Structure 1
C-alpha cells in the first residue's frame, strides 16, 4: 500500500487540443505509458500528449473525487484550473 500523499490528479493536453484527466500513484510512469500509447485508449490515438496540470492529494479517495470533479468541468473551466494556484506543475 502506498503512503499518504502519493496520489496525483493530472491533465494532459492532446495533439488535437482536447484534455484528458486521470489519477495515479506514479506520475512519471503513467506519463511514459501515455506517451507510448499504453495508458488509455483515449490518448493512444491523440498523442503526443503534454502534462498541463498536476495536483498531489493525500489519499486515493481524495484523488478519485478530484478526478471525477475535474472530468465534469467544461473545457473552459478546465483551462481556468490549469492556470490556477492549485496547479502544482513546475513553471
Structure 2
C-alpha cells in the first residue's frame, strides 16, 4: 500500500498540506467540500504537488514538515527547484 503527502493550492492562493492512503479519493473529498474545514472555505482547490511513501508515518511527517515551511519554500518545492529549497532552508536557520 502506498501513502501520499500532498499540497493543494486553494482559490485564495494559500496552500494546504495533507497526507492520505488514497490520493484520488481524498482529492475528490476536497473538491466536493465534504471534509469541511480549511479547504471547504477556499474552493476550488488544485493539487500542485505530491510524493509517495511506503509507510504512513513518512507521509505524515512530510505533511507536518510542509506545514512549517514558508510560502516561498513551498513554491520552490512545487517548481522542483531543489537549490532554492535548500537556500531557503539555510536562510531560515540563520
More helix as a share of residues: 2
SS at match of 2:4: strand
Runs (5+) with no aligned partner, structure 1: 87-91
TM normalised by structure 1 equals 0.85
* Structure 1 position 34 matched with structure 2 position 30: yes
- Could you tell me which of 46, 50, 54 is aligned with 2:46? 50
| Bigger radius of gyration | 2
Which residue in the other structure is 1:70 paired with?
66
Report the alpha carbon displacement of residue 70 of structure 1 after superposing the two structures with TM. 0.7
Structure 1 segments (4+ residues) deviating >4 Å: none
Q: TM-score, normalised by structure 2?
A: 0.82
Count matched residues.
82
Q: Give me the CA root mean square deviation.
A: 1.4
Q: Can you give the 5+ residue segments of structure 2 that lack an aligned partner in the other structure? A: 83-94
SS of the equivalent of 1:65 reads: helix
- Alignment deviations for residues 6-43 of structure 1 (CA, whole Å, 9 cap, x no partner): 10000000010000000000000000000111124000
